[in-house]
Amino acid sequence: MATTTMIADMTRQIVGDRLAVESLLPVGSDPHVYESTPEDVKRVAAADLILMNGLTLEGWIKELVDNSGTRSKIATVTEGVEAIGSDEHAGSFDPHAWMSAANGLIYIDNILKAVTALDPSGKDFYEKNYTRYKKELEETDLFIKEKIAQIPENQRILITSHDAFHYFGNQYGLRLEAVMGTSTDADVRTSDIIRLIKIIKETGVPAIFVESTINPKLLKQIAKDNDIKIGGSLFADSLSGEADSANTYISMLRRDAELISYGLSQTKAVFSRQNAQNTEGIP
């Protein structure tokens, strides 16, 4: 069992059909504020292995594990990641390490170790899948770098709903700003809204971005009041459903990179013309 949809997908890429993989959180759930259910307690109790993100993402996991009485092995897949600190709470970290494909390589290293320890007889099978998937992640890392490089340097400012993109920005060369911090469980402060509006006006950034798991109302109002385009809805804390284009970890990263590259490469004049034509301005 994996705590998030991203970790579950990475694990499936390695174990294939040899092991059953479930995501504890359903598609579209916010892991920062998730509240476990009685059914979750049963699922955790039945699990042989729990793969968690760590870095203070799953604040609810200890109580859930304790209540389940599970004896399953627990592995933290961010072991070895160079964590970014968070000033929201003492001793906390930015948990969104998966938003860098380079960190994704660390995740799958840890997943491979955990599933091989659980099922040693599947070692060769897992390593073969790991090698293929590692290559795909390395190609994705290069793809994102190429997409971000297409943005004019003075427009490489990513403004989002919450601070989920610092690992992405550090890896690929973007300045990050958000109306909320690394967790979505804190109230939005008026000072943060004022700060964000000031950045929009001073930089002339052409677009800001909402997120799939967060109510877009506030950012849409900021965009309307400041004549700026919503560049699209990014995925960070959850994959999309099967029918959508961010239903795997790699497709999520690639889709986000394409939206960001397109949105930040435009001018406000271009977006204004597109709005007049009733288009979204997203390929």
Q: What global pTM score does this model have?
A: 0.90
- pLDDT exceeds cutoff 90 at 282: no
**pLDDT band for position 215 (cuts 50, 70, 90):** confident
CATH code, 5-146:
3.40.50.1980
Average confidence score pLDDT of the chain: 91
Query: Tens digit of pLDDT for each residue in 110-169?
Result: 999 999 999 999 999 999 999 999 999 999 999 999 999 999 999 999 999 888 999 999
Residue 281 pLDDT: 44
Residues 2 and 25 sit within 8 Å (Cβ to Cβ):
no
* SS3 category, 84: strand
Query: Tens digit of pLDDT for each residue in 65-84?
Result: 999 999 999 999 999 999 99
Beta pairing, strands 73-76 & 49-52: parallel
Q: Residue 201 belongs to what H/E stretch?
A: helix 190-203
Residue 95 pLDDT: 95
Q: What residues contact 34, with CB distance under 8 A and at least 6 apart?
A: 25, 58, 60
For the segment 212-222, the average pLDDT, to the nearest whole number, is 91
- pLDDT exceeds cutoff 50 at 97: yes
The fourth-level CATH superfamily of domain 152-276 is Nitrogenase molybdenum iron protein domain (3.40.50.1980)
Q: Spell out the domain ranges in the chain.
A: 5-146, 152-276
Query: Tens digit of pLDDT for each residue in 220-275?
Result: 999 999 999 999 999 999 999 987 899 999 999 999 999 999 999 987 655 555 55
**pLDDT band for position 181 (cuts 50, 70, 90):** low
Q: What angle, rounded to 10 degrees, do the helices at 190-203 and 217-225 form?
A: 40
Residue 278 pLDDT: 39
**pLDDT band for position 185 (cuts 50, 70, 90):** low
Cα–Cα dist 169/176, whole Å: 6
